[in-house]
Structures are given as structure tokens and as C-alpha cells.
Amino acid sequence: MNKKLATNVTNAVKDQEQRKALNAWAKSGYVGSIIAGTGFGKSRCAILAIGLVIRKYEGKGLLLVPTTQLQDQFKLEFIKWGYEDVLDNVDILCYQSAHKIVDTHYSIVVCDEVHLGLSPVYRKFFENNTYDRLLCMTATLPEEAEYRELLINLAPISYHISLDSCVALGLVAPYDVYCIPVDMTAEEAATYKKANNLFVHAKYRLGQFDAFNNAQAILANKMPGDKAAAAMFYKAIKDRKEVVQHATIKLDAAQKIAENYKSKKVLVFSGTNSFTDDMAKTLGGLSYHSGKSKAMRERILQKFKNGENTILCSTKALNQGFDVADSEVGIIAGLDSKTLPMIQRVGRLLRLSENKVGKIFILYVRDSQEQKWLENAVSKLNNVQWLNSIEDVLNLFNTKQEQAEV
């Protein structure tokens, strides 16, 4: 099959699956959620839903997004998919602004990355306004019980497809994930141990079985309890996370990996903006995060897209809405307890292109809370390999180089 024909077949399959999702939403009374892995084409689903409704029923449409970058990107998506004519009847707003709207009626509301629009503040939009149709979209259901229940009540699941099912259908590129343990320095280990001891002590004072929810409720004055222990509990969590997300050995490990992909575009995800800056400096890459102005971020992205620099380091700013099809190598050096950021980050590397196989290298601190987070985050992914050290990765590179030479 030639390249053009293969692309046409893939586009046809993707179009069929997207319309299947929208049909399921329609059968749900035009109120529901599409849960689909990054790369499925949720953006196109949003455009089709809004475009078809506005053309048929007129009225006003609203598209809610988490970032100004996505605001600009969606305007181009309407043009790309042939719905420029409806733009005058569609508002594209960030959740940060939309929650201030009151007493307004919409023919259709579409919520992109809806998990970011369910906070007590942002959900006020749904409480204070009305709409005939509601489409919510995200890569996975929210992990917080409160947010998950809210979404299911607000927009029940109409269609759900996992990232690996997208791979099986040929909608996104196949991938390999390598989990690589690293060790803390003696100073980092001592700091981590101190924070972990504080965590254990606070957890004991709060109650062993539901300490997290108890601490949250106590600090929010929703239940009586030991406020000092609750504050101590959250401080311990923060301190542990700070140590593992800034483990200096990750810089050296990332450099060793990146050196083997000098001809590829590499995305590097860290846990904090300061570590992203350190990573960019170590790798000679670009640093892209919320601490930079919009104009600066646009210039940085352009340098990466045109190949002026092939390493782009970020914190969370690339988790939503970033699309560079020729990015195929990822290094994840900062984790948290949630699965969604992992799905989003992996998905950033799996935009479909010919013969592409995404390579994702995840650096985590051995025998720490970060290892538990990782085990949870990749539990629903296939093609995950757990290595013993960074040396295993280097041996993997050497083996492939020898095979290529033969």
C-alpha cells in the first residue's frame, strides 16, 4: 500500500470512529461525554458537533477550553474542517472566564479537557446558565471521586475508547514505554526520609485508612479534627514530591537518552518549571512553561516545529492541545499521582505518521512514592517495560546500533 493510500485509509477509519462517537452522543439526547485517548481526534468531534448544530438549529454555540493557546488553535480548526461560516455564532472561552457568565442560553456547549473545568469555581458556569446540548471531552475519567461523579451526572459517558484501542485501530502510532529507576543523592535521600517520616506520623494522627480525605475535610472545616496533623500531612506530601521531582540524577539520565536521538524531535516533561529550566539547560533544549509569556511560548514552539532546536522541555503546558506529528521521542522526568497526565503526555508522541513508533522513557526515583505513582499511571497501558537502570537503556541503544550495522 502506497503512502497516500495508507493515509486515506487511516483518515477514513478515524472519520468513521469519530462519527460513531458523535452518533452515540446524539443517541444520548445530545448530552454526554466522549472519553478518548489523545490523538483520537476529539478536536474534530468538537468542530463537527458545533458546526452541525449551529447550521441546523442556529442559536449560539460555546466552546470551553483550558488555555488561550487552545482558543487560538480551535479557531484554525473550524477553518480547517470547513466550518468557518459558524464562527460568528460561536464563543471560544477559557474556563477561567466562562465561570463568570450568568443567565445565558446556548444551543450547544462543548467542553474540551473537561476535567479542568469541574472545580467548585469553574462549575458555576453549569449552575448559572442553560443549554440545549452539552458535549464534554477528556482522555480519561477524572480520578477524584467528586469530579468523576459530577461529570457522570452532568454529561454521562456516551463513548469511551482507550489509548491502546486507538493504537489497535491505527488511529495513533504504536509505542514503547521504558520505565527507568534512578537513585537519589545522599542529601536528597535524607530529605525524603524526613518528609516520609512526617507523612507516616501525620497519617497515624489522622486515621490510617482515609487520611487524605480526612485531612482535606478537616482543613475545609467540613469535619472536626486535628488541623495541625492535617497541615502536617499535606506538607509531608509536598516535601516528598519536591524531592523526587528535583532528583538531580534525572538530568544526567535524560542527557544520556537524548544523545541517542540527535536526529529526532524530543519532548521532555518535568514536574516543576524550575526543573524544566534546568533540564533545558542540561540538554541544550528549549524551555516551555507557564512562567513564560504567550508571545515567548509561541516563538519557542515555532523554533521547535521548524527544527531550529529539536528538544522541547515542558512542565504541564504541553499536556493539552499540542500537535507536532514528527515528535516521536519523549522523556518524562516528573510524575504525580494521576493517570491522566501520563495518557496525555504519551499521546503527545503518538500523532500518526508513516512508520512511526513512539518511544517514551520515564525516569522515576526507585523505592519512592514516585514509583507507586508510576505503577498506577501505566497500569492501563500496554508495551511497558520495567528496566533495572539507565545502563539497560544504553545497552538497548548499543544493541540496536549493532543490528543496524549488520
Statement to judge: residues 324 and 261 lie in one domain: yes
- What tens digit of pLDDT does each residue of 275-325 get? 999 999 999 999 998 888 888 988 998 899 899 999 999 987 665 556 665
pLDDT of residue 400: 62
* Model confidence band, residue 210 (pLDDT cutoffs 50, 70, 90): confident
Statement to judge: residues 140 and 32 lie in one domain: yes
**Rounded mean pLDDT, 129-136:** 98
Q: Which of 200, 218, 244 is the last residue of a domain?
A: 244
pLDDT at residue 9 above 60?
A: no
Total structural domains within the chain: 3
Statement to judge: residues 193 and 316 lie in one domain: no
Statement to judge: residues 379 and 251 lie in one domain: yes
pLDDT at residue 202 above 50?
A: yes
Three-state DSSP state, 110: strand
Looking at residue 88, the DSSP 8-state letter turns out to be G
Residues 6+ apart with CB under 8 A from 243: 184, 188, 191, 192, 195, 365
Statement to judge: residues 27 and 44 lie in one domain: yes
* Model confidence band, residue 402 (pLDDT cutoffs 50, 70, 90): very low
Burial 337-358 (b: 16+ CB within 10 A, else e): bbbbbbbbbbbbbbbbeeebeb
Alpha-carbon distance of 317 to 304, in angstroms, equals 15
Phi, psi at 358, each rounded to 5°: -70, 135
Residue 92 β-bridge partners: 63
Q: Could you identify the residue written with the cell 540496536?
A: 400
* Model confidence band, residue 170 (pLDDT cutoffs 50, 70, 90): confident
42-57 and 68-80 helices, crossing angle to 10°: 60
Give the amino acid at 211. Answer: A
Statement to judge: residues 261 and 314 lie in one domain: yes
Three-state DSSP state, 365: strand
Q: Are 243 and 192 in contact (CB under 8 A)?
A: yes
Statement to judge: residues 227 and 270 lie in one domain: no
- What tens digit of pLDDT does each residue of 55-76 get? 999 999 999 999 888 898 899 9
> Looking at residue 131, which CATH number applies to its domain?
3.40.50.300
Q: Of all helices (H) and strands (E), which one includes residue 287?
A: strand 286-288
Give the amino acid at 235. Answer: K
The secondary structure of the chain in percent helix, strand, coil, rounded to multiples of 5, reads 50, 15, 30
- Per DSSP, helices labelled H in 65-144 are 68-80, 95-98, 124-128
pLDDT at residue 91 above 90?
A: yes
**Weakest-pLDDT range from 204-208, 221-225, 301-305:** 204-208
Alpha-carbon distance of 341 to 357, in angstroms, equals 20
pLDDT of residue 358: 87
Statement to judge: residues 206 and 61 lie in one domain: no
Which three three-digit cell numbers place residue 15?
472519520
Residue 404's CB is within 10 A of a number of other CB atoms, namely 7
Of 143, 187, 135, 177, the closest CA to residue 159 belongs to 135
Q: Where in the sequence is the domain holding 155, given as residue range(s)?
A: 3-168
**Rounded mean pLDDT, 141-158:** 93
Q: From residue 285, give the alpha-carbon distance in Å to each of 56, 83, 87, 281.
A: 48, 37, 37, 7
Statement to judge: residues 59 and 161 lie in one domain: yes
pLDDT at residue 405 above 50?
A: no
Residue 398's CB is within 10 A of a number of other CB atoms, namely 11
Residue 373's CB is within 10 A of a number of other CB atoms, namely 19
**Rounded mean pLDDT, 269-279:** 94
Torsion sign (Cα): 141, 147, 148, 154: negative
pLDDT at residue 404 above 50?
A: no
pLDDT of residue 1: 45
pLDDT over 90 percentage in the chain: 63
pLDDT over 70 percentage in the chain: 91
pLDDT of residue 43: 93
Statement to judge: residues 24 and 141 lie in one domain: yes
- What tens digit of pLDDT does each residue of 313-369 get? 998 766 555 666 578 899 999 987 777 677 777 776 766 566 778 899 999 999 999
Q: For the chain, give the mean pLDDT.
A: 89
Q: Which of 168, 196, 221 is the last residue of a domain?
A: 168
Which three three-digit cell numbers place residue 401?
546500533
Statement to judge: residues 213 and 126 lie in one domain: no
- What tens digit of pLDDT does each residue of 367-388 get? 999 999 999 888 888 889 999 9
pLDDT of residue 67: 86
Statement to judge: residues 277 and 367 lie in one domain: yes
